[in-house]
Structure 1
Amino acid sequence: MFRNTAEGYGLVSRVLHWAIAAGVVGMMIFGTRIAAMEPSLSNYWLYGVHKSFGLTILGLVLIRLVWHRISPVPEPAGMAGTWQHGLARGVHILLYLFLLAIPVSGWVASSATGIDTVFFNIVVMPAIAPPSEVVAAWGFAVHGALWKGLLALIALHVAGALRHGFGPGSALRRMGRG
């Protein structure tokens, strides 16, 4: 029930998948909104919320990677050895890399501004870059570019899931029901 099997995803994998997916969609909407704002004291707290949820997604992705070492993912039904399997595997690897790199680049950029990254107003996270306008500008540029790349990867991921998603043993059925 909790662990993955050869036929389907266990509850832990499914909950982590959908929690990360919901978090990413929410952060894309929220991040786009705050990027369009002029920073001020009245909306400064929103940036803290964005950072906190970004760190939460980073943590969930790290947990998911560890979980997949403990409980390996099932092989795709009927795709082993095909170009589609190779593409799906490549997209998944890139998704994980982007889901790690996006919050880290945001954390680097935020650290370089000299403003603390505070996790939900409880824990002050260590700065992972020295204060520097150049590093901050570079970090935010990388953060934005990775976000756009993630959009393309999500489109490929969703297209693949829909393409292989409706029959018995399908990706959508296994990720939805196990």
Structure 2
Amino acid sequence: MTWKNTADRWGPVSQLLHWLIVLLVLVLAIVGLTMGELPKTPKYFWVYTMHKSTGITVLVLVLVRIAWRLYAGAPKPVPGTPTWQARIASLTHFALYALLLAMPLSGWLYDSASGLRPFRWYGLAEMPKLSAPNEGLSELSHDAHELLFWVLVALVVMHAAAAFYHHLFQNDATLTRMLPGRRRTPE
């Protein structure tokens, strides 16, 4: 077994990073959409700090994933995939990586520009501020964070829908090659 990606499927490192990032982004989305409703108690600040810490964790994991992809390569398109679909898939992957970098960076910038107390990643290490307090930049980065979230949601839905379309209607290995284990690929 190789840890790297092969011409036919994503390797275990790529799969682990993919599904871990998916899980963390799902948690971030749920918390991000609901934390505004929480009363401003110590629990709220704990939830807010966990949201920020998890966002920074996603940022690091995405950087690791990009580095791994550059090192390990990517599978070739499934045989029979039209060139236009392969190009759209490549552009979609690029956009997903860009959004997964921009989202935590915009949140970090919002935290920095808001002039809030220092943020400690999971209470362990103080994160540097990306800017001095700046109300205009704070509002802009907050708005960008929200907009980027909804763009990410739309792109993820399209990405998942395409994978399921390939699995259910094209009967190809587009989806199964990102799933763990040795799965028989449709012929």
TM-score range relative to shorter protein? over 0.9
CA RMSD of aligned residues (A): 1.7
1:134-153, aligned counterparts within 5 Å? Answer: 134-153=136-155
Q: Call closer, same or farther: CA 1:121–1:79 in 2, change over 3 Å.
A: farther
Q: Is the 8 A contact 2:166 2:172 kept in 1?
A: no
Which position in structure 2 is the counterpart of 1:15? 16
Query: 1:40 offset after TM fit, Å?
Result: 4.5
Q: Which consecutive residues of structure 1, in runs of 5 or more, have no partner in the other structure?
A: none
For residue 104 of structure 2, what is the amino acid of its counterpart? P
The reply to whether residue 155 of structure 1 matches residue 157 of structure 2 is: yes
1:1-178, aligned counterparts within 5 Å? Answer: 1-78=2-79, 82-115=83-116, 116-165=118-167, 170-177=173-180
* SS class of match (2:74): coil
Q: Is the 8 A contact 1:8 1:175 kept in 2?
A: yes
Distance 1:78 1:164 in 2: 12
Query: 1:164 offset after TM fit, Å?
Result: 1.3
For residue 48 of structure 1, what is the amino acid of its counterpart? T
What's the TM-score, normalizing by structure 1?
0.93
Distance 1:119 1:125 in 2: 6
Distance 2:152 2:82 in 1: 26
- Deviation string, structure 1 residues 53-103 (Cα, Å, up to 9, x no partner): 000111110000000011001012025552111111111111011000000
Query: 1:176 offset after TM fit, Å?
Result: 0.4
For residue 176 of structure 1, what is the amino acid of its counterpart? L
* SS class of match (1:4): coil
* SS class of match (2:130): coil
Query: 1:119 offset after TM fit, Å?
Result: 0.3
Q: Which consecutive residues of structure 2, in runs of 5 or more, have no partner in the other structure?
A: 182-187
* SS class of match (1:177): coil
Q: Is the 8 A contact 1:118 1:124 kept in 2?
A: yes
Distance 1:80 1:63 in 2: 28
Distance 2:180 2:103 in 1: 29
* Pairs aligned (count): 178
Q: Call closer, same or farther: CA 1:38–1:112 in 2, change over 3 Å.
A: farther
- Deviation string, structure 1 residues 114-152 (Cα, Å, up to 9, x no partner): 122210001001000110111111111100000000000
